[in-house]
Amino acid sequence: MFLKNKKNKKGGKKGFTLIEILLVMGIIAILATVVLVAVNPARQFAQARDTQRIANINTLLNAIGERIADHKGLFDEGCSAGAIPTTTARTMASTQYSIYDCLVPTYISSLPIDPKIGRFTTVTEYDTGYSVLQDSATGRITVTAPAGEINQSINVSR
């Protein structure tokens, strides 16, 4: 039994009009777009990796700060790496500067590694993906994660 041409009690036809159907389809499309944007997995993973980078940078800065406090304001005292460079240098053996021997295992169990670098390369104790530099004017130490995804480059200074 189809109600195609039957009339309701008020005399009008039963069913939906074209406008009502288009309105419902529009609302569904808007809701679907909002859900897809809110649950964008690629962005969620990128945010998680950037959060890990910030935590790693803070861990490095805390370890450097502890070493400086233990050595009466000097980082390089008894450290084979010497003073923290005043220009950007990655903590890699290829740049001839590594804070590994200065921090591990006394101040930190192991150097944190950038999440992206750790997934795609063979990681050595020197190739962390983070840069450490000291401002020559103020003495502030900055650790940078140049491989940041959402914020491009993540910097934290102390």
Alpha carbons 4 and 37: distance in angstroms, whole number:
40
- Write out pLDDT tens, residues 117-142: 765 555 555 678 888 888 888 889 88
Q: Tell me the whole-structure pTM to 2 decimals.
A: 0.69
> Is the pLDDT at 67 greater than 80, yes or no?
yes
Instruction: Specify if 64 maps to a domain.
Output: yes
Instruction: Specify if 112 maps to a domain.
Output: yes
Query: What residue numbers bound the domain in which 115 lies?
Result: 49-157
Instruction: Specify if 9 maps to a domain.
Output: no
Average of per-residue pLDDT across 15-31: 94
Q: Give me the chain's average pLDDT, please.
A: 80
Alpha carbons 145 and 137: distance in angstroms, whole number:
22
Q: Total domain count for the chain?
A: 1
